[in-house]
Structure 1
Amino acid sequence: MTRQKLFVTAFTLLLGTSLSAQDLSVINQQEATRMLQTLSHDNMQGRAAFSAGIEKAADFISSEFQAAGLLPLNSNGSSQGASYRQTFHVHRLTPSQTEVTLGKKKIAPEHLFVNTAHEGINWKHKNKINIISIPAGENFRAAFGKANAEERDAIVLVHPSHAEAFANYRGYFARGGVKKEIGKGSSKVFVLTDQPSPKKYEVKFANKVEKLPLSNVIGMIEGKRKDEFVVFSGHYDHIGFHHTIDGDSIANGADDDASGTTAMMMLARYYKQQPQPERTLIFAAFTAEEIGGHGSRYFSEQLNPDQIVAMFNIEMVGKPSKFGPNSAYLTGYEKSDLGKMMQKRLEGTTYNIHPDPYPEQNLFYRSDNATLARLGVPAHTISSVQIDQDKTYHTVKDEFELLDMPHFTSMIRAIALAAQGVVSGEDTPLRVDKALVR
Structure 2
Amino acid sequence: MTTYYSLGLLCVLALTACQPTEQAKPVPAADDTGAETELAESSFNPNFRDYFRTLASDEFMGRAPATKGEEITVAYIEQQFERFGLRPANQGSYRQPVPVMQIDPVQVSSLSFSGDQAPPDYIYRQDMMAWSSQMLTEIAVDSSDVVFVGYGIVAPEYNWNDYEGLDVEGKTVVMFVNDPGYATQDPELFNGNAMTYYGRWTYKYEEAARQGAAMALIVHETAPASYGWHVVAGTSPIRFELANDNKNMDRAQVEGWLSQQGAERLFASAGYDLESLRQDALSGSFQAIPLNVQASITIKNNLRSLQSDNVIGYIEGTTYPDETVIYMAHWDHFGMDFSLPDNQVFNGAQDNAGGVAALLAIAERMAAEPAPERSVVFMSWAVEERGLLGSAWYAANPLFPLETTVAGVNMDVINVHGPMKDVMVVGYNSSELETMLEHYSKQQNRYIVAEPTPEDGFYYRSDHFSLAKVGVPMLYARGGIDHVEHGKAWGLEQRHIYNSQHYHKVTDEFHEDWDLRGAAQDMHLFYHIGKELAISRQWPNWYQGNEFRAIRDASAEARK
Instruction: Give the TM-score taking structure 1 as reference length.
Output: 0.80
Aligned to 1:226: 321
**What is the one-letter code of the residue matched to 2:255?**
K
3-state secondary structure, aligned to 1:250: coil
Note the alpha carbon deviations across 1:318-370, whole angstroms, 9 max, x for none.
Answer: 3348xx63643332342222121233245544355444344233222121111
CA contact (8 A) 2:146 2:294 kept: no
3-state secondary structure, aligned to 2:77: helix
Note the alpha carbon deviations across 1:180-214, whole angstroms, 9 max, x for none.
Answer: 44233211365776575897875332111222112
Question: Aligned to 1:150, which of 185, 203, 208?
Answer: 208
3-state secondary structure, aligned to 1:371: helix
What is the root-mean-square deviation in Å for CA atoms of aligned residues? Answer: 4.1
Aligned to 1:79: none
State whether structure 2 residue 478 is matched by structure 1 residue 383.
yes
User: 1:8-407 alignment to 2 at 5 Å?
Assistant: 8-10=25-27, 27-29=44-46, 31-75=47-91, 82-100=92-110, 102=112, 109-111=124-126, 113-118=129-134, 119=136, 120-125=138-143, 128-130=144-146, 141-142=177-178, 145=201, 148=205, 150-151=208-209, 152-154=213-215, 165-172=228-235, 174-181=237-244, 182=247, 183-186=249-252, 187-188=254-255, 196=269, 203-224=297-318, 225-241=320-336, 247-301=342-396, 302=398, 303-320=400-417, 325=420, 327-345=422-440, 348-384=443-479, 389=496, 390=498, 391=500, 392-401=502-511, 403-407=514-518
**What is the one-letter code of the residue matched to 1:249?**
Q
Aligned to 2:158: none
Q: What stretches of structure 2 of length at least 5 have no aligned partner? A: 1-20, 115-119, 151-173, 180-199, 271-291, 482-491, 550-560
Note the alpha carbon deviations across 1:370-393, whole angstroms, 9 max, x for none.
Answer: 122222222111222658623322
Note the alpha carbon deviations across 1:61-84, whole angstroms, 9 max, x for none.
Answer: 111101111101154xxxxxx321
Distance 1:130 1:107, change over 3 A: closer
Offset of 1:280 from its aligned partner? 0.1
Is 402-411 or 428-437 further displaced after alignment? Answer: 428-437
Distance 1:158 1:292, change over 3 A: closer
3-state secondary structure, aligned to 2:109: strand
Distance 1:161 1:412, change over 3 A: closer
CA contact (8 A) 1:375 1:434 kept: no
Task: State how far apart, in whole Å, the 2-side matches of 1:305 and 1:247 are.
Answer: 46
Distance 1:131 1:98, change over 3 A: farther
Distance 1:356 1:14, change over 3 A: farther
Task: State how far apart, in whole Å, the 2-side matches of 1:374 and 1:18 are.
Answer: 40
Task: State how far apart, in whole Å, the 2-side matches of 1:418 and 1:161 are.
Answer: 37
Task: State how far apart, in whole Å, the 1-side matches of 2:426 and 2:296 are.
Answer: 45
Task: State how far apart, in whole Å, the 2-side matches of 1:56 and 1:360 are.
Answer: 37
Note the alpha carbon deviations across 1:372-420, whole angstroms, 9 max, x for none.
Answer: 2222222111222658623322222211117422322333234323433
Instruction: Give the TM-score taking structure 2 as reference length.
Output: 0.64
**What is the one-letter code of the residue matched to 1:45?**
M
Task: State how far apart, in whole Å, the 1-side matches of 2:458 and 2:220 are.
Answer: 30
State whether structure 2 residue 492 is matched by structure 1 residue 429.
no
Distance 1:19 1:268, change over 3 A: farther
Is 352-361 or 290-299 further displaced after alignment? Answer: 352-361
**What is the one-letter code of the residue matched to 1:168?**
V
Offset of 1:248 from its aligned partner? 2.0
Question: Aligned to 1:415, which of 508, 526, 532?
Answer: 526
3-state secondary structure, aligned to 1:9: coil
Task: State how far apart, in whole Å, the 1-side matches of 2:429 and 2:221 are.
Answer: 41
Q: Percent identity?
A: 22
Task: State how far apart, in whole Å, the 2-side matches of 1:222 and 1:73 are.
Answer: 10
